[in-house]
Amino acid sequence: MSRKIAIFDTTLRDGEQSPGSSMNTEEKLIVARQLVRLGVDVIEAGFPASSPGDFRSVQEIGQLAGEDCTVAAFTRAVTEDIDRAAEALVTAKKPRIVTGLGVSEVHLKDKLRMTEDEGLERIASCVKHARSLVDDVEFYAEDAGRADLDYLVCAVQTAVDAGATVINLADTTGFCLPDEWGEKVRTVAKRVTGIENVTLSVHVHDDLGLATALSLAGIRAGATPVECTINGLGERAGNASLEEVVMAIRMHESLLDAHTDIKTTELMRASRLVSRITGMTVQANKAIVGANAFAHSSGIHQDGVLKSRATYEIIDPAEVGAVGSEIILSARSGRAALRHRLTDLGYSFDDKDFEDIYELFLEMADQKKEVYDEDLESIIQERERDVTAVYTLNALQIQCGDPLVPTAVATITDELGVKHVVSATGTGPMDASYKAIDRVVAVHGDLTEFAVKAITRGIDAIGEVTVRVTADDGMVYVGRGSDNDIIVSAAKAYVNAINRMIQTSRSRSGR
Ligand SMILES: [Zn+2]
């Protein structure tokens, strides 16, 4: 039997840190359910000390993860962080505290303002403290890629001696070349006493587009878990992408002497779900999960693929869930079929919520006749937005044309139930509606990105607008809205981004 490579997913922690990708607890739970279905071995559920919202997410994911999946909570090498993580993890059957420190010169000197010895002392005390609270403690050596090798070995030795069960070497800046990185991992494994009693893992970023190659180099050097995210979401250029690493291992199992337990047919759904929730579009030519990953357009390629798929295709699209058995619902499908489909998609609702969704489903089925999975997801997310909204857009009336002055009249209800009717003129219908909305809402944001997409198929498709709004403090918020009318979608998306901005600042302050 080949080595099992454990998949440590950090979409909900490192991935979520990427600008504009923040998710609320409800959204994180939806992603977590899909991660469980994918069969990941570890879910890094959040950074409990960072906000009450993150704390709650870790708690709730701990509850849903069950026996087979470890739930990890991220901390800095700070006692309070570690205490908070342990508190959040009480619900988890297999809890793990992840703690660590920058080990490169630039991290120690400029970020942490510590000497090398102080760094080692801190590693020892934090790992020991974490071990006094849970049995499973991961030490991460941040920026190991640029760290001095001798110091890295000392740091890892200190963590192993202090009782770490997992050692994670991180090329945090995605700086190394794959061979060099593999050599570094191999050397640490060789020089640290007792490393055979702990698990050695790698965590890399994609700054040079090498994240998958670096992960594989780590595996060849002896690492067994790999840390990664769905769609390679993450800080800057992102983390190693789960689907790429998993499929590369799968294609080369014997050469790598390795396998994973990931249910690859769930990869595409996971990718779409994360893209939808975060508003981070997957580029069409992205490996494994891009829209064109299995498209052949040149005549020569098409001819080849028609004669034998293997000529230009190394992966069967069905293997990653890119073509699945499609289930289409209609108005005649009934409650049982809808509930069954929702369960398959990873949602569970109590009877009252389910009835609400059933009503919305019937409305849509009347309009569209055929209801696809994407339609159901848009119903659920649109409803979610309404339930948690601070401001709700009730109505929008637009007047525009040549030579008219574009004018918008918006009706907005605030969370106290007060109805506001406002109007504004602008350079176009969108500008007018955003200005009208700005008259009611209490916060300010600048629109920095605007994208329109048909999320469902057919001429009667629903148009979804995704906007990015930058708040005065520089934080980016994604808003989404969908409607048959694209200007209404755009206005809903803007209100949604504003709501998220307010909710995030409340969740940070614990309200
Ligand atoms: Zn990272």
CA of 170 to the centre of ligand 1 (A): 7
Architecture of domain 390-508: 2-Layer Sandwich (3.30)
Does pLDDT of 229 surpass 90? yes
Could you tell me the pLDDT band of residue 494, with boundaries at 50, 70 and 90? very high
Does pLDDT of 458 surpass 70? no
CA of 206 to the centre of ligand 1 (A): 10
CA of 16 to the centre of ligand 1 (A): 11
CA of 141 to the centre of ligand 1 (A): 11
CA of 71 to the centre of ligand 1 (A): 17
pLDDT in tens, 265-284: 999 989 988 988 887 889 88
- At 32 the pLDDT is 95
CA of 469 to the centre of ligand 1 (A): 25
Amino acid identity of residue 15, one-letter, is G
Of 474 and 41, the one with more pLDDT: 41
What are the tokens at 421? 């009717």
CA of 174 to the centre of ligand 1 (A): 9
- At 344 the pLDDT is 77
Q: Give the DSSP H/E element, type plus range, for residue 157.
A: helix 149-161
Minimum mean pLDDT among 224-233, 294-303, 373-382, 401-410: which range? Answer: 294-303
- At 385 the pLDDT is 65
CA of 47 to the centre of ligand 1 (A): 13
How distant, in Å, are the alpha carbons of 121, 122, 138, 191, 451 from that of 155? 9, 10, 13, 12, 46
CA of 309 to the centre of ligand 1 (A): 37
- At 387 the pLDDT is 63
Instruction: Identify the CA nearest to 88 among candidates 66, 62, 51, 64.
Output: 62
CA of 203 to the centre of ligand 1 (A): 7
CA of 234 to the centre of ligand 1 (A): 7
Does pLDDT of 326 surpass 70? no
CA of 274 to the centre of ligand 1 (A): 18
Q: Domain limits of the chain?
A: 3-278, 334-386, 390-508
DSSP state of 225: -
Q: Round to whole Å and give the CA distance between 354 and 494.
A: 27
Q: Round to whole Å and give the CA distance between 488 and 438.
A: 15
CA of 239 to the centre of ligand 1 (A): 6
Of 307 and 216, the one with more pLDDT: 216
Percentage with pLDDT > 70 across the chain: 95
CA of 317 to the centre of ligand 1 (A): 29
CA of 230 to the centre of ligand 1 (A): 13
Does pLDDT of 324 surpass 60? no
CA of 490 to the centre of ligand 1 (A): 33
CA of 41 to the centre of ligand 1 (A): 18
With 0.85 as the threshold, say if the pTM is over it: no
User: Which CATH number does 3-278 carry?
Assistant: 3.20.20.70
Q: Give the DSSP H/E element, type plus range, for residue 187.
A: helix 178-191
CA of 204 to the centre of ligand 1 (A): 7
Could you tell me the pLDDT band of residue 460, with boundaries at 50, 70 and 90? low
CB atoms within 10 A of CB 504: 17
CA of 163 to the centre of ligand 1 (A): 23
pLDDT in tens, 241-262: 999 999 999 999 999 999 999 9
Does pLDDT of 223 surpass 80? yes
CA of 295 to the centre of ligand 1 (A): 32
Instruction: Identify the CA nearest to 82 among candidates 20, 21, 162.
Output: 162
pLDDT in tens, 328-347: 888 888 899 899 888 877 77
- At 190 the pLDDT is 97
CA of 275 to the centre of ligand 1 (A): 19
Minimum mean pLDDT among 33-47, 88-102, 149-163, 384-398: which range? Answer: 384-398
Beta bridge partners of 409: 397, 423
CA of 408 to the centre of ligand 1 (A): 44
CA of 10 to the centre of ligand 1 (A): 8
Q: Which residues contact 307 (CB under 8 A, 6 or more apart)?
A: none
455: helix, coil or strand? Answer: coil
pLDDT in tens, 355-382: 999 999 998 888 777 888 878 887 887 7
Does pLDDT of 325 surpass 60? no
What are the tokens at 423? 């109007």
- At 133 the pLDDT is 98
CA of 5 to the centre of ligand 1 (A): 19
Does pLDDT of 511 surpass 60? no
